[in-house]
Amino acid sequence: MERILLILVFLMFSGKLSLAQSPKPDHIQVISDFKDDLAIALDTETHKEGIISKMGDLLVEPIYNDITRFPNGFFKIITFKKKQRVGLADTSGKIIVKPKKFSSIWLAKKPDGADKFQFTKESSEKVYYLAENGKVEVDWSY
């Protein structure tokens, strides 16, 4: 057993064995602190942002103009084409609202104290919310 450990240590120090090789390309830079093993990453070639794990896996490809983290661990993703559009990624990096329809998003509190994401469209006075079923619906309380 000691001999195996000695060989492993030798291989690690000689550069022939790495226990944590990151698949992160050289042009990807972590630009935020890791929280729940996720951080915001910048592609220094395209200047677009994505979401990366501590292991170096890109969970959300860096194709967005801006990404910010909400206090509950979700991410606001922003694109700027003709106009700003916002979407939402969950705590695993999965896009749950694509940044196509909505111009703003914020985190509000329900009467029971639970978090509630609300959205607006530039062309509408309606307020939308993310329902428990994962769909965005009109918030009739406004």
d(CA 139, CA 118): 8
Residue 10: what pLDDT? Answer: 47
Residues 35 and 70: beta-carbon distance below 8 Å: no
Residues 59 and 73: beta-carbon distance below 8 Å: no
- pLDDT tens digits along 35-73: 999 999 999 999 999 999 999 999 999 999 999 999 998
Residue 8: what pLDDT? Answer: 46
Residue 139: what pLDDT? Answer: 83
Residue 17: what pLDDT? Answer: 41
Query: Which residues are registered as beta bridge partners of 66?
Result: 78
Question: What six digits make up the tokens of 14?
Answer: 């000689």
Residue 69: what pLDDT? Answer: 96
d(CA 90, CA 97): 9
List the chain residues with pLDDT less than 50.
Answer: 6, 8-11, 14-21
d(CA 34, CA 23): 17
Residue 122: what pLDDT? Answer: 87
Residue 113: what pLDDT? Answer: 82
Residues 48 and 63: beta-carbon distance below 8 Å: yes
The residues spanned by each domain of the chain are 23-138
